[in-house]
Structure formats: C-alpha cells, structure tokens
Amino acid sequence: MDARSRYRVGRQLRELTADADVPLVVNDRIDLAVALDADGVHLGQTDLPVEVARDQLGPDAIVGVSAATVAEARAAVDAGADYLGVGAVYGTSSKDVAEERDGVGPERIRSITDAVDVPVVGIGGISAENAKPVVEAGASGVAVISAITAADDPKAAAAALQEVVERAR
C-alpha cells in the first residue's frame, strides 16, 4: 500500500481506536505515527532508533521494539523501549524473517524476560494451540495475525486465544 493509502486507512483506524479508547500503535513508520497522532510506534531492528521515535512522538508515546536475542532486548530497553515484541517464536509465514530469527521458541522468551524489566509479547506462528508455553515462559501476551485472520470464525479464534492466554497467566 502506498503512503497516501496507509494514511487514509490510518485515519479511519485512529477514529475507531479513539472511540474505543484503545491505543493506536503504528508499525515501523514514525512519520505515519506522527501524521496520525498515534499513541505510539513499534520498531524493528532496521527501523529508526527509539530515540528518534521519542523525539518525534514525545516522551509519553508508546515505543515497542522487535527483538530476537537477549542482546537486542537489552539494547532496546536501554534505549527506552516500553515493551518488546519477541519472535518469531514458532516461525512465521506472514512476513520474511531471517532464518536465525525464525522459530526462537519459548526458551528465548524466558531468556529475554529474565534479562529485562519491560513487558514482552511473543509473536510469530502463535495460535490458541501453542500460546500457553509462550505465556508460561514469561510473556505478558501474544501477538497474532494468521491465527485470527485465516480462521473461519475470527471472533471465535480471538476468544479462544484470549482464554488460553488468561489461563496461562
């Protein structure tokens, strides 16, 4: 999607999230987060640094960072990340992920949650069938795409996933 289309969709999402009192966090794009008056941004390892996000979005913005190793996690937290997205836990087909970052497993979640003091969200290949070990390893929650969007009944899939995560906590 081109930048104008993303902005147009983002404006609609901003309205929906504001009405629902839910934070809007934009993936990768600090400029788009600023333009949408989003609540925050989630940055990958090759995106602009946390410090730039804070400068552009302000000190109260939510800034998340993707991490696949303890070193990346510590660096992100030292830079001021509010939370970490860790994965791909079980491997993913939703986007291209380098082999060494794909399928890090719940063990890596545990290593990272033991090393940092911010919430960790597991991501990558997670479903209601395999989310429990991720939360039991210390993740505050999980992020999914296919488990819901590819489901015959997305609402039921989301409810099942929520139940598994709540029980595992």
Domain boundaries, the chain: 1-63, 82-169
Predicted model pTM: 0.90
> Does residue 45 have a pLDDT over 80?
yes
E strands present in the chain: 25-27, 40-43, 62-67, 83-87, 120-123, 141-143
Please give the share of the chain, as a percent, with pLDDT higher than 70. 93
Distance, CA of 150 to CA of 37 (rounded, Å): 30
Structural contact between residues 82 and 121, judged by C-beta atoms closer than 8 angstroms: no
The top-level CATH class assigned to 82-169 is: alpha beta
Q: What is the pLDDT of residues 19-42, one digit of tens each?
A: 999 999 999 999 999 999 999 999
Q: Residue 88: is the preceding peptide bond cis (ω within 30°)?
A: yes
Q: What is the pLDDT of residues 99-124, one digit of tens each?
A: 555 578 999 999 999 999 999 999 99
> Does residue 95 have a pLDDT over 80?
no
